[in-house]
Amino acid sequence: MPINIKQASDLSLRFLDELEKPFVGRHEEALIITLALVSGEHAVLIGEPGTAKSAMVRRASELLEARFFKYLLTKFTEPGELFGPLDIKGLREGLYKRVTVGKLPEADIAFLDEIFNANSAVLNSLLSIMQERILYDGYTEIRVPLWSLIGASNRPPEEPELEALYDRFLFRQHVKPLEADNWNKLLDYSWKLEKGEESSVEPVMDMNTLREIHKAVFTIDLSVIKPRLIKLFLVLQEKGLYVTDRRKGKILKAIAAHALLYGREKANEDDLIVLKYTVPKDVEDFDKINVILMEELRTKERVLRELEEIRSNILIARKAVEKVQHFDPRLTEYYRSLKNTRNRIMNLIRDFEDEDVISIADELIEKIDDTLQEIMAKLNM
């Protein structure tokens, strides 16, 4: 049964909430895993030991009813460990076949811990599985059902031969240790976990539901956001943050998945936040992109904050206008400044379709227009 945007949003938000629940300060990590699943892409969590990377991935697997394959890669992991051992009986008959039961080629979701330990014996197969969903294995070519591969690692890859693997993870997050103001909560949560209070977990959805949610991603209207995204790619490039061509197109899908998650039929500026999780490559990039996005994005939060600032300025101007006498020369100055503020509001909300923002902007414009009238009356214009 097809799922509409509202249902898709409700379900994915429930998944996100449940995933995040037992952890402190791990909203973004839960968001990334959820977005990767909804968009059918791969995600990697990079961070110091003990920052709950594995624990989050484990919980995600409990919340989704699917065929999972989990493995911890070492430098010495052999293809058979991931893709299944060679079929000895087949070999005797001259057939080169793998027994893939319970291994990665039969999984919907794969969790590979210490992913950047991947050595040359497994790397090429991983690359084609991730990109084409095909396992090329010497003599055989198997289509695999893999939906998302979630990786974890203590470090981004340094070896050039791992670049292609890293590039295939659309979502990347640098998981940082918690700041001191979260430590108290962390102790309480860990205590609960140790006591086993966070035990039974009910799955939120199965693979069929996830596939339906995924279909809804492609119904999202991206017309407003596409030109904005292209402009942002340019800004980022000027500041030294390059996005490979493979990722440029995929980022649009991440934006659509984010819009769907929050129940929007039309993607807006808020959805560009996914750039934070899709553009960075080196560890420094994660901080860099944050600063750039804060400057560049006209998110709802930021617009509302600016409107509130404008509101208090209007109030001050109104009081000033009330106080001064007719024909006071300062009135023309107030007039000019209010006209500018009016333009600023119009610019701020141009193409912005959020109801809360529009209604506040309308209210402020009305206040400005009243005050402008009052000034004109005092100036006898």
Ligand X SMILES: Nc1ncnc2c1ncn2[C@@H]1O[C@H](COP(=O)(O)OP(=O)(O)OP(=O)(O)O)[C@@H](O)[C@H]1O
- State which of positions 104-163 bind Mg ion (CB under 5 A): none
Alpha helices in 262-329 (DSSP H): 275-278, 283-296, 300-323
- Give the 3-state secondary structure of residue 110: strand
- State which of positions 130-169 bind ligand X (CB under 6 A): 152, 154
CA dist list (Å): 280 to 53, 173, 274, 292, 296? 18, 8, 11, 12, 16
Distance of alpha carbon 350 from alpha carbon 368, whole angstroms: 18
Q: How far is the CB of 194 from ligand X (least distance, A)?
A: 8
Retrieve residue 83's tokens.
């893709």
Q: How far is the CB of 159 from Mg ion (least distance, A)?
A: 20
Question: Which of Mg ion, ligand X, none does residue 49 bind to, with CB < 5 to 8 Å depending on kind?
Answer: ligand X
Question: Which of Mg ion, ligand X, none does residue 124 bind to, with CB < 5 to 8 Å depending on kind?
Answer: none
- How many residues lie near ligand X (CB under 6 A)? 18
The only residue of 54, 117, 119, 313 in contact with Mg ion, by rule CB under 5 A: 54
For residue 201, state whether it binds ligand X (rule: CB under 6 A): no
Contact between residue 205 and residue 311 where contact means Cβ atoms under 8 Å apart: no
**What φ, ψ does residue 173 adopt, rounded to 5°?**
-135, 140
Contact region with ligand X (CB under 6 A), list: 87-95, 131-139, 184-192, 242-250: 184-192
Contact region with Mg ion (CB under 5 A), list: 6-14, 50-58, 72-80, 348-356: 50-58
* Interstrand relation of 140-143 and 134-137 (parallel, antiparallel or unpaired): antiparallel
Q: Which residues of 116-134 are buried (b: 16+ CB within 10 A; e: fewer)?
A: bbbeeebeebbbebbeeee
Q: How far is the CB of 68 from Mg ion (least distance, A)?
A: 16
Question: Which of ligand X, Mg ion, none does residue 186 bind to, with CB < 5 to 8 Å depending on kind?
Answer: ligand X
For residue 173, state whether it binds ligand X (rule: CB under 6 A): no
- With a CB cutoff of 8 Å and minimum separation 6, the contacts of 269 are 225, 228, 297, 298, 299, 300, 352
Q: How far is the CB of 22 from ligand X (least distance, A)?
A: 6
Distance of alpha carbon 240 from alpha carbon 242, whole angstroms: 6
Of 194 and 202, nearer to Mg ion (C-beta) is 194
Q: How far is the CB of 110 from Mg ion (least distance, A)?
A: 15
The only residue of 1, 2, 50, 179 in contact with ligand X, by rule CB under 6 A: 50
**What φ, ψ does residue 51 adopt, rounded to 5°?**
-100, 20
Would you list the DSSP string of 293-307? HHHH---HHHHHHHH
The only residue of 3, 134, 178, 324 in contact with ligand X, by rule CB under 6 A: 178
Distance of alpha carbon 45 from alpha carbon 160, whole angstroms: 19
Q: How far is the CB of 23 from Mg ion (least distance, A)?
A: 14
The only residue of 26, 172, 174, 258 in contact with ligand X, by rule CB under 6 A: 26
Distance of alpha carbon 94 from alpha carbon 88, whole angstroms: 10
Of 18 and 270, nearer to ligand X (C-beta) is 18
Contact region with Mg ion (CB under 5 A), list: 13-21, 48-56, 271-279, 336-344: 48-56
Q: How far is the CB of 186 from ligand X (least distance, A)?
A: 6
Residues that bind ligand X (CB under 6 A): 23-26, 49-55, 152, 154, 178, 186, 189-190, 193
The site for Mg ion (CB under 5 A) is made up of 54
